Structure formats: structure tokens, C-alpha cells
């Protein structure tokens, strides 16, 4: 049996599956990584900009960087891996997607295939196709002064501090709704992800080196509860030796063959 059929058999037989994705799934959509040549901005390292201290010191500079990152990602489209996962989660009960990515491509895929419900992420009927975003999303904002959160795709005017996006409810500065260095991950999202992982028969890990905690603990939680790990990654990772099946393949090529109706 080829390993792709082996992996598909395990996914078909599973009652519930948690899918954990990382930067690698979006590599096939052309989303730049932080470290690659397209990921660098001016002379800054992300660790110097993606922090609460940097935003407190110079919100204009931090928003300018996020505006640039959005402009790089906005033209990228969900690839066949995002789309196949969204369709699968939309039609099969017991499949949920958890992502470390902040590019919003799983959410766009869910909308594109009609798995997100008419109002997208907040619609209960569409929850299945909508990912749990562990690190937030570049196209969402939250208020630095109150509890307001929302989608935000408008162009950022970072020409002056006065022009930066403001909260429609209290007028305070809005910030990107992403997790910065030194910040905790959103508690409710993390506990839901771990609860799903602990109950899942299979954790399908796509495009993440699985070394960044706490996300790295998600496949471990499935394994500790007696479930299996299936991995898709062109490279060997720290998870490979613990996986029931590990496919050395690109996400856009392998994932549709694992989860689509017609393989
Ligand atoms: P990572 O950079 O540590 O690992 C990426 C993994 O993807 C590697 O194991 C690599 O072998 C694999 N990969 C490369 N091309 C692939 C392909 N075509 N198909 C499948 N796998 C492929 O990324 P990470 O584990 O997600 O962690 C990095 C952190 O950086 C995360 O916290 C994430 O939030 C952030 N980040 C996000 C994005 C995004 O939103 N798209 C992009 C860059 C970084
Ligand atoms: Zn506010």
C-alpha cells in the first residue's frame, strides 16, 4: 500500500480529526515567510516590530509594517490544500481545522466553498469550515481601549499617527488582532484546540515544523490520548518519527488526495 493510501484510509476510518496547519500550507499560495527574502521589511526583524512594547512606542511604524504585510498577502489565493480541507470540514462531521497562520486563507477558503455559512466565522452553522486561529489574523483588528474586535481589510494609512485606524466604539487606537512576541495565545481558542486534539482519532499536521509551543502540543495531545498522527511536509520534522504516516510532499499536491471525494 502506498503511504498516501495508508494515510487516506486512516483519515476515512477516523471518527474525528483535528487538522493542524502552519506556514507550509500557505507556501503553495505564495505567502512569504518571515525569514525568506520576501519576508524582510526595511532593516527590521519581526521580533522588533511584533511586540506590545514596539506598538506602545511607535504604533505608526508597527501599522506601516502590517500594512506592508497585508499588501503582500492580499493577492494570495487559497490553494487546493486550503480548499480541499474547507470542503472536507464542511461536509464531514468531526473535522476541525486549527492553524498557526495569520494569513486568513483558511477562512477565505471556507467562504469560497460555502463552508463558512452566510456570515462567516461568527455563524454557528459555519463553524466546521472555519478555522481556530491560534495566532489571530492579519485582516482582523481589536481595540487597545475596549473589547471591540472586527474584520478589517481596508488599506492602512500609516502616514501619521492621527490617520491610524480607530475604534468605532470608543475612539482608541485599533491594533492588529494577532498574537505578538511576549503575549499569551487566546485562552479560549487554545483550550478548544486542545480539547479537540485530546478527542481526535487522528491529528493531521500540514506544513508546520511543530516545534513552536503550545501548538506543538496539539499532535502530542492526540497521541497521548491514543490517537494517531498523520503528517504532510516536504521535510522531515521532529514529529516525523512519531507519525503513523508521514508524507514527504507539498500540501497543495498531497492534501486534496487525502481528503477529497475523488482522489
Ligand atoms: P515554520 O516556518 O516553522 O515551518 C514551516 C514548515 O512548512 C516547515 O516544516 C517546512 O518544511 C514546511 N513546508 C514548506 N513548504 C511546504 C509545502 N509546500 N507544503 C507543506 N509543508 C511545507 O512555520 P510554522 O511552524 O507555521 O511556525 C512559524 C510561525 O510563523 C508561526 O507562529 C506562524 O504564525 C508564523 N507565520 C505565519 C505565516 C502565515 O500566516 N502564512 C507565514 C510565516 C510565518
Ligand atoms: Zn474601543
Give me the residues of the chain with pLDDT under 70, please: 1, 35-36, 116-128, 262-263
Specify which residues 201 forms β-bridges with.
none
Q: What angle do CA 102, 91, 188 make, to 5 degrees?
A: 40
Specify which residues 133 forms β-bridges with.
99
66 close to 142: Cβ distance less than 8 angstroms: no
Q: Strands 136-143 and 149-151, how do they pair? A: antiparallel
pLDDT, residue 40, reads 78
Distance, in Å, from the CA atom of 250 to the CA atom of 77, rounded to the nearest integer, reads 16
Ligand 1, atom 28: nearest CA belongs to which residue? 23
CB of residue 233 inside a 6 A radius of ligand 1: yes
Active-site option among 82, 106, 135, 213: 135
In 3D, which of 255, 58, 257 has the Cα closest to residue 160?
Answer: 58
In 3D, which of 207, 190, 151 has the Cα closest to residue 174?
Answer: 151
Q: Nearest 5°: phi and psi at 199?
A: -95, -15
Q: What is the chain's Cα-based Rg?
A: 19
CB of residue 237 inside a 6 A radius of ligand 1: yes
Q: How far is the CA of 142 from the centre of ligand 2 (A)?
A: 8
Distance, in Å, from the CA atom of 86 to the CA atom of 139, rounded to the nearest integer, reads 19
Q: Record the cell numbers describing residue 201, joined without a space.
A: 482519532
Active site residue 135: yes
Distance, in Å, from the CA atom of 190 to the CA atom of 215, rounded to the nearest integer, reads 8
Grid-cell match 487566546, residue found: 186
Cα torsion angle, 84, 86, 91, 95, sign = positive
CB of residue 29 inside a 6 A radius of ligand 1: no
Cα torsion angle, 214, 217, 222, 226, sign = negative
Q: Strand runs (DSSP E) across 100-248, as ranges?
A: 132-133, 136-143, 149-151, 174-178, 202-206, 228-232, 245-247
Q: Which of 20, 24, 39, 138 to mutate to test the pocket of ligand 1 (most atoms within 8 A of CB)?
A: 24
How many other β-carbons are positioned within 10 Å of the β-carbon of residue 114?
13
In 3D, which of 191, 216, 225, 254 has the Cα closest to residue 14?
Answer: 225
Amino acid at each position: 500500500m502506498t503511504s498516501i493510501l495508508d494515510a487516506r484510509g486512516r483519515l476515512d476510518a477516523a471518527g474525528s480529526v483535528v487538522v493542524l496547519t502552519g506556514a507550509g500550507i500557505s507556501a503553495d499560495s505564495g505567502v512569504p515567510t518571515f525569514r525568506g527574502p520576501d519576508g524582510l521589511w526595511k532593516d527590521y526583524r519581526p521580533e522588533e516590530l511584533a511586540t506590545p512594547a514596539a506598538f506602545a512606542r511607535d504604533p505608526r511604524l508597527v501599522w506601516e509594517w502590517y500594512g506592508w504585510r497585508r499588501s503582500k498577502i492580499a493577492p494570495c489565493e487559497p490553494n487546493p490544500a486550503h480548499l480541499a480541507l474547507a470542503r472536507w470540514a464542511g461536509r464531514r462531521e468531526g473535522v476541525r481545522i486549527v492553524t498557526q497562520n495569520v494569513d486568513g486563507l483558511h477562512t477565505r477558503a471556507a467562504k469560497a466553498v460555502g463552508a463558512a455559512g452566510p456570515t462567516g466565522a461568527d455563524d454557528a452553522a459555519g463553524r466546521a469550515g472555519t478555522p481556530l486561529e491560534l495566532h489571530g489574523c492579519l485582516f482582523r483588528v481589536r481595540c487597545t481601549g475596549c473589547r471591540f474586535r472586527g474584520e478589517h481589510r481596508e488599506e492602512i494609512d500609516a502616514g501619521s499617527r492621527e490617520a491610524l485606524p480607530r475604534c468605532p466604539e470608543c475612539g482608541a487606537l485599533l491594533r492588529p488582532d494577532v498574537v505578538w512576541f511576549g503575549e499569551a495565545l487566546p485562552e479560549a481558542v487554545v483550550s478548544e484546540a486542545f480539547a479537540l486534539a485530546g478527542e481526535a482519532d487522528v491529528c493531521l499536521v500540514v506544513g508546520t515544523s511543530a516545534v513552536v509551543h503550545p501548538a506543538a502540543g496539539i499532535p502530542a495531545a492526540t497521541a497521548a490520548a491514543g490517537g494517531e498522527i498523520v503528517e504532510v511536509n516536504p521535510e522531515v520534522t521532529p514529529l516525523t518519527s512519531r507519525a503513523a504516516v508521514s508524507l514527504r510532499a507539498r500540501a497543495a499536491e498531497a492534501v486534496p488526495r487525502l481528503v477529497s471525494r475523488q482522489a
